[in-house]
Amino acid sequence: MNLVENLRVHRLLAIVRGKDPAASLRTVLTLAEEGIAAIEVSLTTADALTVIKRARAELGLGALVGAGTIRSAADAAAAVEAGASYLVTPALVEGLEPYGVPVAMGALTPSEIERALALGADAIKLFPGSLGGPGYLKALRDPFPEVPFVPVGGVDAQAARDYLDLGALAVGVGSPLVGDAADGGDLDRLRARAAVFRKVAAGETP
The residue annotated as part of the active site, out of 125, 138, 199, 204, is 125
pLDDT above 80 (res 1): no
**Using one digit for the tens of pLDDT, what is the confidence trace for 174-184?**
999 999 999 99
What percent of the chain clears pLDDT 90, i.e. is strictly above it? 97
How would DSSP label each residue in 173-194?
Answer: ESHHHHTTGGGT--HHHHHHHH
Q: Is 75 helix (H, G, I), strand (E, B) or coil?
A: helix
Domain residue extents for the chain: 3-201
pLDDT above 90 (res 163): yes
CA Rg, the chain, in Å? 16
Q: Which fold has domain 3-201?
A: TIM Barrel (3.20.20)
Confidence label for 104 from pLDDT (cuts 50, 70 and 90): very high
Question: Number of C-alpha atoms within 13 angstroms, CB side, residue 136?
Answer: 17
b/e per residue 185-206 (b: at least 16 CB within 10 A): bebeebeebbebbbebbeeeee
For residue 100, what pLDDT is reported? 94
Q: Is 171 helix (H, G, I), strand (E, B) or coil?
A: strand
**Residue 40 annotated in active site:** yes
Question: How far apart, in whole angstroms, are the C-alpha atoms of residue 181 and residue 26?
Answer: 8
The residue annotated as part of the active site, out of 19, 34, 40, 97, is 40
